[in-house]
Structure 1
Amino acid sequence: MAYPCSRIAVVGAGSSGLYLALLLQRAGHQVRLFERSPTPRSEGCGILLVAAGVEAIAASGDSSLLQRLLAAGQPVARFVVRNLRGDTINAEAASQDPGRQPSLLIPRSAILDALWQGFAAEDFCGEAELIGWQQSNDRVDAFFANGDIWSGDLLIAADGIFSRVAPVLVPGHSLNYLGDRVWRGVVEDAHFCTAGDFFVYARGRGIYANFFDLGADSSGVQRTHWGFFHEEPLPASREQRRQLLSEPIPAEALAKLHPEAAALIAATLPQQLTANWSYDIEPLPRLVQGRVALIGDAAHAMSSSQARGMTAGLEDAQALAQALAASPEDLPSALLAYQAERLPLVHNYQNRSRAVSNRVGRRRIPAAA
């Protein structure tokens, strides 16, 4: 039986939005993938993509996509927890369940590249910043800053933690500041963090850091991803927040870390650095309203403490594509089925991530008024 072809807009070309758009293309829908940037995203450092995230990709049934992903990363081999002096607190081999996909240490850009290779590029619309939307019983309209208007059957917001759709769909939607300014980077490294290792420097004295092996790039250069978290109040003004994200790690903060680890961070080229303020969002009471749905960080942004953020978005995409395939004649009901499946799961992810984030020794620093 041939399913009816629906017109579906996906807003946001990060991993969850791109994966959903790819799945919908393959199901025969008329898809438009809108992205504020002029070109497809390729930024980002590294990520631990846990086994469930790899399995969400495997569930597409596209073996070539899965193989591209597996080839771009490497299985995590060992977790090591150290104190800030560099003494080992705990070290253990990463568990690998027989019959399951491995957890991967992988560049974020490699995940996006693997997805883009399977996506029909003519359905990508860059420089398309969503500024509003409206819906009726039988259609939804999306309005963009460049004057374009899209009309169709469904609008799926994958536009991240600062979503334009989520606060309208769920009044009262709010960000929760977790207490850190965070720098991340990728640096050449053939000696410090290798062979699938993941190092954690336990939080203390107002800082936390992690490092993990990314393997070799296409030129054979060995790389390590690192993250450095510095506890500080959130500045009240957007201007000051933006300014501080352009600044390097304070020298006095970096000096609290073991010298070998600090030296690796200091050796990172500026173009290999990113910085942000750490937020999550309060669990939302719903992910769907009529013909509009949220996926990914727009739906459930969470702390990185459980490495579940990207995985949850990939799972969202797979679940939503399956719900639409199961109820092609009644799209709003398909969205409600997606919500019924995902809402309790992502609430659990969010609550666990925040609980872990709150109990690892962070000083409680209030945000500025």
Structure 2
Amino acid sequence: MGERAVVVGGGIGGLAAAIGLHRTGWEVTVLERADVLDDAGAGISLAANGIRALDALGVGPAVRAAGRGQYTGGTRTPRGSRLSRMDGAALERALGTPVVGIPRADLHRILRSALPASCLALGTEVTSVEDLEADLVVAADGLRSRIRAALFPGHPGPAYSGSTVLRAITAEPVSLDSDFELTWGAGEEFGHIAFADGRAEWHAVLGSPPGVRHRDPLAVLHRRFADWHRTVRYLLDATRPEDVLHHDIHELAEPLPSFVAGRVALLGDAAHAMPPHLGQGACQALEDAVTLAAELAAGPDRAAALARYDAARRPRTGAVARAARRAGRMGPQLTHPLARAARDTALRLAPSGATVRAILRHADWTPPSLVPRGYSDRSSTAGDSTQSAT
């Protein structure tokens, strides 16, 4: 088994992979092309599978402490009437943890704190894996992965989903009556995540041609959502214009033929970028990270371990990506009035357990053990001895 790994990309998936490999005895270097880690981003919801993966990496308790459980909320119409309710307590009973909302910046800092500072090399751009001296290369370089493009030159790469997203975190704490909420209009979605410090993240997903940008995006949103319910307008009012982020949503609509090529393993968005409609993108990257480290720890050799990683992750992530695509088409992307009316009626009539069962379908995942055969845990420097979720 090789002992030196290079992780290309210092995002959630790359840092998680580095933690898993470090905890199982690898010498790890994370190469991040950014010169400064500004922790840009808004917020994230982590379902039980993501939290369980973080538990396996030893950082779950820190994430729970920094985050806020999502117990209340659901889906509304633009006028504010309720379509469905989220039962976070039922999810916690079923899975042992609620969904957790946390600023991405906080999650990034927690992940980095679980690694020796010497692991992270900033301002390092990787253009070819041939230049990397390592027994294992983890390609966690995101949606527009250069490593993926080099390994699979015939793959079409990212495809525009038809939607763009604007998001921000409020400048100050806000008073909300729910932990997490979505509002669906005609091809539009507005949602929020409440954080432990009282602030909230909001996002607006809009149908749009790619590349459209606005001089004052917050003013555009104020006009677009002027007749939506009070919470939407309240969150926009609580936001500074300079804090609004705007990104087009792309996905890997055509699956890769493999997540592995020689000594290279692809992970996260580099392997399976998916639409955001199930909130599973980061959770799947975390699953990737734990599975990769566990398979390599189990041996007997790197090639066999990488083959098992590929066999485990491609079917799982492919199914979740397809489900996310369907969720978007049948949910916030609907524009026809009759189709929207039918959707809204179905949501209102659905039994209370239906939403819980839908979430369980993707969130009920148990991580493999990270302890290799004959290996005595040397992860005490990570600050937590948790090895796996139960």
The answer to whether the superposition gives a TM-score over 0.5 is yes
SS at match of 1:159: coil
User: Following the alignment from structure 1 to structure 2, what is the Cα–Cα distance between the partners of residues 47 and 325?
Assistant: 29
Give the AA of the match of 1:183: L
Give the AA of the match of 2:277: S
Alignment correspondent of 1:167: 149
Q: Are 2:278 and 1:294 equivalent residues in the alignment?
A: no
Alignment correspondent of 1:336: 307
- Pairing of 1:277-356 with structure 2 (within 5 A): 277-282=248-253, 283-327=255-299, 330-356=301-327
Q: Are 2:7 and 1:10 equivalent residues in the alignment?
A: yes
- Among all aligned residue pairs of Structure 1 and Structure 2, give the percentage whose two residues are the same amino acid: 30
Distance 1:39 1:28, change over 3 A: farther
| 1:246, distance to aligned residue in structure 2 (A) | 6.3
Q: Are 2:195 and 1:214 equivalent residues in the alignment?
A: yes
User: Following the alignment from structure 1 to structure 2, what is the Cα–Cα distance between the partners of residues 302 and 245?
Assistant: 25
Q: Are 2:77 and 1:46 equivalent residues in the alignment?
A: no
Decide which moves more: 222-231 or 310-319: 222-231
Distance 1:271 1:6, change over 3 A: farther
- Pairing of 1:247-266 with structure 2 (within 5 A): 247-249=216-218, 250=220, 251-266=222-237
Structure 1's unaligned 5+ residue stretches are 134-140, 143-149, 217-221, 236-240, 365-369
Q: Are 2:95 and 1:105 equivalent residues in the alignment?
A: no
CA-to-partner distance for each residue in 1:245-281, whole Å, 9 max, x for gaps?
A: 6641425323253344124213312343211001111
Alignment correspondent of 1:157: 139
Distance 1:169 1:97, change over 3 A: farther
Which aligned segments of 4 or more residues in structure 1 are displaced greater than 6 angstroms?
Answer: none
Equivalent pair of 1:13/1:33 in contact (CA under 8 Å): yes
Equivalent pair of 1:166/1:173 in contact (CA under 8 Å): no
Alignment correspondent of 2:363: none
Counterpart pick for 1:122 among 106, 118, 125: 118
| 1:165, distance to aligned residue in structure 2 (A) | 1.1
Alignment correspondent of 1:93: 87
User: Following the alignment from structure 2 to structure 1, what is the Cα–Cα distance between the partners of residues 76 and 173?
Assistant: 19
Distance 1:266 1:155, change over 3 A: same
Equivalent pair of 2:216/2:241 in contact (CA under 8 Å): no
Q: Are 2:244 and 1:273 equivalent residues in the alignment?
A: yes
Alignment correspondent of 1:22: 19
| 1:5, distance to aligned residue in structure 2 (A) | 4.9
Structure that is richer in helix per residue: 2
User: Following the alignment from structure 2 to structure 1, what is the Cα–Cα distance between the partners of residues 326 and 112?
Assistant: 35
Alignment correspondent of 2:204: 228
Distance 1:356 1:267, change over 3 A: same
Q: Are 2:166 and 1:183 equivalent residues in the alignment?
A: yes
Give the AA of the match of 1:6: E
Give the AA of the match of 1:357: G
Equivalent pair of 2:217/2:241 in contact (CA under 8 Å): no
Larger RCO (CA under 8 A, 6+ residues apart): 2
SS at match of 1:199: strand
Give the AA of the match of 1:166: R
Decide which moves more: 95-104 or 150-159: 95-104
User: Following the alignment from structure 1 to structure 2, what is the Cα–Cα distance between the partners of residues 92 and 346?
Assistant: 24
Give the AA of the match of 1:226: W
The alignment covers a number of residue pairs equal to 328
Alignment correspondent of 1:70: 64
User: Following the alignment from structure 1 to structure 2, what is the Cα–Cα distance between the partners of residues 335 and 247?
Assistant: 47
Distance 1:257 1:17, change over 3 A: same
Give the AA of the match of 1:201: T
Give the AA of the match of 1:252: R
Equivalent pair of 2:6/2:29 in contact (CA under 8 Å): yes
CA-to-partner distance for each residue in 1:225-252, whole Å, 9 max, x for gaps?
A: 10011211124xxxxx5xx166414253
User: Following the alignment from structure 1 to structure 2, what is the Cα–Cα distance between the partners of residues 274 and 40?
Assistant: 17
User: Following the alignment from structure 2 to structure 1, what is the Cα–Cα distance between the partners of residues 163 and 334?
Assistant: 10
Distance 1:354 1:98, change over 3 A: closer
Structure 2's unaligned 5+ residue stretches are 336-390
Distance 1:317 1:246, change over 3 A: farther
User: Following the alignment from structure 2 to structure 1, what is the Cα–Cα distance between the partners of residues 113 and 141?
Assistant: 21
User: Following the alignment from structure 1 to structure 2, what is the Cα–Cα distance between the partners of residues 184 and 42?
Assistant: 15
Structure that is richer in strand per residue: 1
